[in-house]
Amino acid sequence: MKKILLAVYALATFIIIALHSQTIPFILMMVFILLASVFYYRQKKRQQNEFNELTLQKDAATLQLQHMNKQPDSQVLFSALAGIQSQIIQNEISKFATKPAPRVALPLFNETRYVAVNDIVRCEADNTYTKFMLIGGEEILVSKTLKEYTDVLSEHLFVRTHQSHLVNTFHVKSWLREDGGSLLLNDGTKIPVSKLNRDKVKEILKT
């Protein structure tokens, strides 16, 4: 900027001299020199700014690379393991989300009902029949023994609490100590627990 001011000052001086001497060509020549000087100065300034910007970018990239190289191997290993663990969890969630809810077939007189396991609150023996109590209070009577369904439903966390009762632990609200032990279900029903099955029932409820 100082150079431009000096050039302008010099040009003004020459113009004054030229006016006194009435040399128009000399004035035009000085104007041309001034314009050329300004253009050259701006070009150099722009090139210098671009060079400085590239230098800063290069320095930043170099520092980042040095920082990455200084990371300890344990940190790199931890990051890799965390990524693998996250992928495994996502895969398991995906499998669970796409897996259909388990159902049980209940043969009736003129049809076979397919009921979701979690919709079954409990089963109760009725001689050689089994009565299924579903969510909402619906009851289904099936001409099979309770033992047959105990074998089928035990893998879905159903527990035989009594000779006449098979309960879905998903619907158990609490353990009652009265009368030697009984289960209170979410719908308010109390189911007796025999002394023979007491320890087994408690163990399954812990899972």
Residue with the larger pLDDT of the pair 63 and 162: 162
Q: For residue 170, what pLDDT is reported?
A: 92
Q: For residue 180, what pLDDT is reported?
A: 79
Identify the CA nearest to 121 among candidates 188, 164, 167, 160: 167
Give me the DSSP letters along 31-83.
Answer: HHHHHHHHHHHHHHHHHHHHHHHHHHHHHHHHHHHHHHHTS-HHHHHHHHHHH
Q: For residue 135, what pLDDT is reported?
A: 94
Identify the CA nearest to 123 among candidates 156, 160, 86: 160
Q: For residue 71, what pLDDT is reported?
A: 54
147-159 tens-digit pLDDT: 999 989 988 989 9
181-197 tens-digit pLDDT: 899 999 999 999 998 98
Q: For residue 80, what pLDDT is reported?
A: 60
Cα(168)–Cα(157) distance, rounded to whole angstroms? 6
Q: Average pLDDT, stretch 192-207?
A: 88
At 35, give phi and psi (nearest 5°): -60, -40
Q: Which CATH number fits domain 103-206: 3.90.870.10, 3.40.605.10, 2.40.50.1020, 3.30.70.520?
A: 2.40.50.1020
Residue with the larger pLDDT of the pair 66 and 190: 190
